[in-house]
Chains A and B, each alone.
Chain A
Amino acid sequence: MELNVIITGVGGQGNVLASQVLGNAAVYKGFHVSIGETFGLSQRGGAVMSHVRLFKEPRYSPLIPPNRAHIVVGLEPLETLRIAQDHANPETLFIVNSRPIYPLNVIAGDVDYPDTAWIRQVLEQGGSRLYWLEGTQLAIELGGPIMLNMVMLGALCAIQSFPLETKDIKDILGEIFPQSKLEVNYRALDMGEELISNYEN
């Protein structure tokens, strides 16, 4: 058994923390886990991508081979689109936050940020299923854009083929967040889960 999940976004979106939380929860559930992270300069607004791989047997490659991601969690639309061609396949399921973070070259007017409706359409045609979520909006309501990663993990846990539940994530959050932050993160997970269960297409 092998399940490959990519979490992609922009530095500062809590991408690495999300993969770490996911990995910890999976290890508690008895999975062998291998996570590869591309950061580095990413802290400065660059693209960040985490490869989270769950296995029944120990396997170590921290990178998902080309076009073998089962699920892509996109914290930012453009970054999701960027990795789709190399990492997705016709069976890939996308869970994507719709709110763009504009690259500096877009801000400066050197290039255009593609229309998000178009990104949505391409992802819809590319993979097997797309959940296009107003995640940032929800995160802001919960207390700030930084809650987005937990919202998206909640959404991921609502996916049938994904073997972890929000409860598994909640069980390990105490190791990562101080007591005072737990409640709001629990809520973010629950609300993310609801985004999927109430999703209308």
Chain B
Amino acid sequence: MNRISQKKGGTRMLLQANEAIARGALEAGVIFAAGYPGNPSSEIIETLAKASRDLPIYVEWSVNEKVALEAATGASFAGCRAICSMKQNGVNVVSDFLTNLSLSGTKGGLVLVSCDDPGGISSTNEEDARAFAPLSDIPLLEPSSPQEALDMARWAFDLSETINNIVMIRSVSRLSHSRSDVQVKDLPDFDVQPYFDTKVSFHTFPIVAKHQARHEKLRMAEELFENSPFNFYRGPSRPELLVIGSGCAVDYAIDAIEIMSLWERVGVLKLGTTWPLPRKLLLENLQKSESILFVEDVDPFIETNVKALAAEAARQVGVKTFHGRGSGDFPLCGELGPSHLLEFFGNYFDLDWKDQEFRNKMGSLTKGKIPPREFGFCPGCPHRGSFYAIKTALAWDDRDGFVSGDIGCYTMGIWPTGFNQVKSVHAMGSGSGIACGYGKLEGFGFDQPVITVCGDSTFFHATIPALVNARFNNADILLVVLDNSATAMTGFQPHPGTGKTAMGQPTQPVDIAALCESMGLEVHVGDPYEMKETARRLYDLMQKQGPRVMVLRRKCALVQGREGGFPYDMHVDQSLCVGEECGCGRYCTRIFRCPGLIWDKEKKKAMIDQVICVGCGICAEICPQGAIKKEAKG
């Protein structure tokens, strides 16, 4: 049995913060969960989906974040507790609904979890989604440890029901993907009877009155926040420096204080409730010190708001010196880490914080000899074949064509692994939307061919409206759907095309090719492993006009690896390989860049890395000498 669905509380278990959020929601009696996969948030819904095997709850991967929140809201309106999770970009997608929903209010406890990705470790942007809390006037909670993630998730539903509005929890990659020992409580009975009370309604009219009511709800939340256990002060009564912050950054501060033995000199006000700010609590603490340091990811959110508060209350709290991202003491962008804190304290208190001697020694030993590790498609990845075919077709055409990209593993088409074919990437579905623009420029003399790509999950999420637009306005776009039967980038979650739901139930798959055909588009289906054939067909399609679609179907290599593996044993016949002489020098390894096909430094020939190669066989096609050999596995 899954630990997350363990009925009894009291035990201590190692949980990832995302799992802890899921457990907290279950302890609160959530029966409805919806989301769209996205690093670093995916494990919340995945964990709940697993728990749904043991518990009477409903969990879905929705087609996109907006629909996810809308579905969860339906459950809330019917009196059930519901949770909805996503990454920061998802909050952008839901924002139109969110700013309206927070006017209408909610019924059953409703919690939105945003997992932000400071540094954009696995994102196309760096964004602080906390800005949506003030924008939509909703309470914001920020956990700083897995235990707190659990406790906050549980409490957030009570808060939501107290103020009848949605509550936002904001995590960050570092926390979401951290694990620590967590104390769990009992699970409730989940015996809810959904009922929509037709005596009430949920809409935004009269607008100004609803807006006022929304502010009143915030005020109630602020009152509760004043005494929340998620905010606490630790340190001396008059510290030389007061640290105010949220999230993991507070833990780094605490670590640094321990390391430098600064508990006599530095105090920490940890905030877990960051919108609205508990003003009384802040004013009380601001009086403790003249010097304030803000630690938070990413934007100076607490910093800016506390500075405004301190200005308002200057007579009461006195004049302060502020430090933080906004004041230029830390970088304004990127993730905060332990060394930022150590360095700040080191400079501030004139203390030594790093083992400079060791660093110098290692630096001089390793000098410049550590090559970076380039990102790339997995061995056997169908995208390598797709981009190779696209590159070939665009080269044959020779009109300086390019690819309008989208979000998924194939975003890496911007890099050498995708032969640098992709020239733009923005939001989900934007590749096709932008292509609609290029597709109407012909009348002005634009004749560069453009191929736009999107994955299967992205197709459902946001590409469909762009395709309808292309049909409607007769735009010349050529969309290649890189259909690998998975939301691969985020961990292989099912989507509308896979025929399986989050809870593992079979469902009627939505057929991408048939859907496109029904819109009156010209549709072709191909195999990315057949690179030459695919290139030839793409070339032909590039010469045509109007909206065209080519679906390239092949399972994600990691999924294929789990489901039966690959057909070939590979080797390079080094007597045939011409090595440095091949196509401006070792063509296969220099250009194709599959991690399984490597360079034998001694013999100066290509060779297969038997530990890495999965045996997809496609590299055999690219060797002009026929030196790369595939044999059916025995």
Contact = CB atoms under 8 A, between A and B. Distances in A.
Contacts of A33: 14, 179-181
A145 B354 CA distance: 37
Interface of B: 3, 12-14, 39-40, 117, 121-122, 144-145, 147, 173-175, 177-181, 248, 251-252, 254-256, 258-259, 337-339, 342, 354-355, 358-359, 361-363, 365-366, 369-378, 409, 412, 416-417, 558, 585-586, 589-591, 593-595, 597-599, 609, 611-612
Contacts of B355: 67, 89-90
Given A44-B409, A67-B354, A109 B585 contact: yes
A66 B366 contact: no
A31 B370 CA distance: 35
Interface size class of A (residues with CB under 8 A): 35 or more
Interface stretch (A110-118, A180-188, A193-201): A110-118
Given A46-B375, A108-B593, A114-B370, A125 B177 contact: no
B589 A27 contact: no
A61 to B, nearest CB: 4
A59 B599 CA distance: 46
A101 interface: yes
B121 A63 contact: no
A155 interface: no
A43 interface: yes
Contact of B593 (A20, A89, A104): A104
A109 B591 CA distance: 10
A45 B255 CA distance: 32
A61 B254 contact: yes
B595 A45 contact: yes
A63 B338 CA distance: 7
Nearest to B612: A101
A63 B252 contact: yes
Contact of A61 (B3, B248, B373, B586): B248
B373 A78 contact: yes
A37 interface: yes
A107 B40 contact: no
Interface in A38-56: 38-41, 43-47
A20 B19 CA distance: 13
A23 B366 contact: no
Contacts of B372: 103, 105, 111
Contact of A104 (B178, B366, B374, B409): B374
Q: Of residues A31, A61, A78, A114, which shows the largest number of chain B Cβ atoms within 10 Å of its Cβ?
A: A61
Contacts of A66: 338-339, 342, 354
A85 interface: yes
A114 B174 CA distance: 31
Given A104-B595, A105-B372, A37 B145 contact: no
B259 A27 contact: no
B354 A99 contact: no
B376 A36 contact: no
Given A27-B12, A36-B174, A113-B371, A44 B589 contact: no
Counting from the closest, the 9 A-B pairs by CB-CB distance are A40-B122, A62-B178, A61-B251, A111-B371, A85-B362, A60-B145, A35-B179, A40-B121, A65-B338
A65 B342 contact: yes
A62 B175 contact: yes
Given A62-B175, A88-B358, A24 B14 contact: yes
A44 B377 contact: yes
B618 to A, nearest CB: 16
Nearest to B256: A65
Contact of A105 (B252, B371, B597, B609): B371
A99 B611 contact: yes
